[in-house]
Structure 1
């Protein structure tokens, strides 16, 4: 096909009307009245009316691959081989050279971006990104990952001096991200970026389908109000979480306080007083005074001064950093192993947590992510009494958690994990595992030995936990039945 003939289907973004040119649906009289009300009340929107920003934003119902702009965005999976309408159209119009180029990229991680030429597209570049898989219990991680997609696209466009970017809806139906939630993140991220780096981009186009258009237009008025009337009337419709100054979802655990003397215990003073105190120290820090070898001075000063309370506080801060990561990273691959999950309650009403040893491919997975998933799963559960049931059934050498890893878990987790663990049932143990658990609870982690119960059969386990209160993997049931039948034959 003659490429010159094909280009007639492309759409020049400069010919499309901006969001500022779209009517807000209210006449001048209503707008005047609302402006007067807004002035009287003094209520200010976190997303005020900005004509200059609205002139840069375009909402267009059509195929993102047809946009004549500096770069268009392709949404895909981690291997960049996803089959979805956006990707299919981009590859079709770009031609076979794009497919060859993709092989060199070797995939893309969730939330990150990769850049290729546009080849036969009207767009000069294609920015490839991977949206998160959405599950309600990992909502925080999904929100942060989707924010990263939009933010990284915009940042790359800025770094490459691109004048215009055409966005598709990054979260595909395959990834199950609710359209309205995804739209909130997309719009507020673009809004905050244009506030800070408006000079870097001349046009940002949201290319949507007919089904997506209504949601985008409804929510655009919240983040890009076209008048003071729309700004005022959008206030009660904004979600509780509007992100930070960059539009990033706010996770309270990320807000780490930084004191002038990190090793010194901080008194529980009034929050406002603490803020005033911190402000008063500006300019008095060693860095501001340009003192030499401050780190060495602090290390020497801290030696012999760290009390038990100080160490405990440092441990808590370290745990909070792990918890923050656990709530923001995509851990769906670890969850899919079904190696750790919550079941029912035991006969004393305590939460039952199940660990399936055979489902832990120690040599194949990222054990740091495994620890993050454990923290994500257990943080709220360990706040009350709970028990662990570990199925050692049919585990192999590649399933054994090393003592170093287990010690690291115990060193990282909060004290409540150990305090509120009332029993650990070790189901179908071997002689080697009995020796290992005894050694570990005697010499490595003290205080747990009396809570460990070696359980030879499910019948024995059911004396502590009712069968309908624990989800048991089928292979464990089969193994237990075979062992029981052998015992009956022997008798």
Structure 2
């Protein structure tokens, strides 16, 4: 601890969010509604609002005027630049209270792209984690791109919080003055993104705290009722003030050109329209899409063999197909699959590569929707697979009802983006049985040969720890108990 830093003194400043009033508890004062507009609306029946009165959501919203670094949320947000070393008041205050270890930890993240979100420990903060994100630089002529990036910031923060089971999040104002984003415009995006996320995916999030300064508070207090009305009357009065542009069902900005491209059906096979017609022919990802996966891939292969589609066109089509799955994965409520804890991110291996864990016993294959399982895998892995990673699969104590069909695995392999396959550097198969080794050998030999050289069979955790340090991997208790029991048995039989 550096000289001059008083941890006890700092801790005494921390704010318990349980003591803060929720948005629903705050009195509806009507100050945000111009009186002439309020009077003229008394007899109107302008329902329904796109943001109806939801007390169950309002009770999760807290408006806090003060320092985000003081909140005892599970995670607070740090707004920074691409190198994660920005000098802005929010970031500097977080660094001051978290201590020097935060700077060292940020170096390991190797930066963060605009719109992304990455997390570190909270160190000396009351918050257990800090979620770091990079807001866009605003220019009027690139407004659409800036809106999309800012939406991604808020969406990725909340998605990361959900994936890591964080119950409360303290959101600083991400659109810093340094980056030139108009505060009111940015606040509309923040409110609608958070609102839509809580509606669709926020069952595990108990509190979202908007932390603002004195100068930002007026804008936040003015716009909050538009997206989080505290009564049906407030909903009715605020409806005329809700912007016409509220994004799609997730709050994401809608690009008109993109809408046209998706909805229009190409009329000829000239020039680049060959791929567009093929896309229409293969169909959009929707109901029963999982059953069509294999057909999509096989159809593309046949077209190549028949000379109707070039290799480049196939790759382009494959990318479009994957992007449709990714868009749907981001839009659907996958909380039931996430609750299984069958796939999660942990630390890094000896080479500094991200470690992903798959727990076989937590996959009730006969009970879950496999299409949703595929969507969840794509959703979680998309940002992981952009750089090198390894997977650890615990086969420990799995039964027949936990084993994924080889056809499912093959289809999964065929549909995921090329980066998934390229950046997967090792697949550690822990506690394999003889039968599972034989099955895996056949599968990797005849179905996905590119995986064969990446599979490593590990009979015990000690072998795993030669690749990944124990403190870098979250191992389910039943796996550790099984490993200890088997090791004792092996040692006894060897005596």
So what's the TM-score if we normalise by structure 1? 0.53
Aligned to 1:257: 262
**SS across alignment from 1:230:** helix
Aligned to 1:232: 236
User: What's the offset of the Cα at 1:35?
Assistant: 11
Whether the 8 Å CA contact 1:53–1:198 is kept in 2: the answer is no
So what's the TM-score if we normalise by structure 2? 0.53
Tell which structure's C-alpha radius of gyration is larger. Answer: 1
Q: Distance in 1 between matches of 2:83 and 2:289?
A: 51
Q: Distance in 1 between matches of 2:287 and 2:67?
A: 53
CA gap 1:94/1:182 in 2 versus in 1, 3 angstroms? same
Q: Distance in 2 between matches of 1:230 and 1:205?
A: 21
CA gap 1:257/1:115 in 2 versus in 1, 3 angstroms? same
Structure 2 unmatched runs, 5+: 271-282, 324-495
CA gap 1:262/1:113 in 2 versus in 1, 3 angstroms? farther
User: What's the offset of the Cα at 1:24?
Assistant: 1.4
CA gap 1:298/1:264 in 2 versus in 1, 3 angstroms? farther
1:114-193 equivalences under 5 Å are 114-193=118-197
**SS across alignment from 2:202:** helix
1:53 lines up with 2:57 in the alignment: yes
Q: Distance in 2 between matches of 1:50 and 1:191?
A: 10
CA gap 1:172/1:259 in 2 versus in 1, 3 angstroms? closer
Q: Distance in 2 between matches of 1:161 and 1:282?
A: 29
Whether the 8 Å CA contact 1:260–1:285 is kept in 2: the answer is no
Q: Distance in 2 between matches of 1:226 and 1:110?
A: 34
User: What's the offset of the Cα at 1:247?
Assistant: 0.5
**SS across alignment from 2:203:** helix
User: What's the offset of the Cα at 1:104?
Assistant: 1.5
CA gap 1:292/1:55 in 2 versus in 1, 3 angstroms? closer
Q: Distance in 1 between matches of 2:240 and 2:180?
A: 27
The count of aligned residue pairs is: 291
Structure 1 unmatched runs, 5+: 266-277, 305-310, 322-491
User: What's the offset of the Cα at 1:252?
Assistant: 1.2
Whether the 8 Å CA contact 1:263–1:302 is kept in 2: the answer is no
Whether the 8 Å CA contact 2:41–2:237 is kept in 1: the answer is no
User: What's the offset of the Cα at 1:43?
Assistant: 2.1
1:295 lines up with 2:329 in the alignment: no
User: What's the offset of the Cα at 1:82?
Assistant: 0.9
Aligned to 2:91: 87
CA gap 1:181/1:36 in 2 versus in 1, 3 angstroms? closer
**SS across alignment from 2:233:** helix
1:104 lines up with 2:108 in the alignment: yes
- 1:212-241: per-residue Cα shift (whole Å, max 9, x none)? 000001100000011111111111111121
Whether the 8 Å CA contact 2:46–2:236 is kept in 1: the answer is no
1:425-464 equivalences under 5 Å are none
Q: 1:6 aligns with which of 5, 10, 23?
A: 10
**SS across alignment from 1:192:** helix
Aligned to 2:452: none
User: What's the offset of the Cα at 1:294?
Assistant: 3.4
Q: Distance in 1 between matches of 2:6 and 2:102?
A: 18
Q: Distance in 1 between matches of 2:179 and 2:66?
A: 21
CA gap 1:156/1:300 in 2 versus in 1, 3 angstroms? same
**SS across alignment from 1:48:** coil
User: What's the offset of the Cα at 1:26?
Assistant: 5.2
Aligned to 1:359: none
User: What's the offset of the Cα at 1:6?
Assistant: 2.8
User: What's the offset of the Cα at 1:14?
Assistant: 1.3
User: What's the offset of the Cα at 1:2?
Assistant: 4.8
Q: Distance in 1 between matches of 2:135 and 2:293?
A: 42
Whether the 8 Å CA contact 1:12–1:68 is kept in 2: the answer is yes
Q: Distance in 2 between matches of 1:77 and 1:284?
A: 39
Whether the 8 Å CA contact 2:162–2:202 is kept in 1: the answer is no
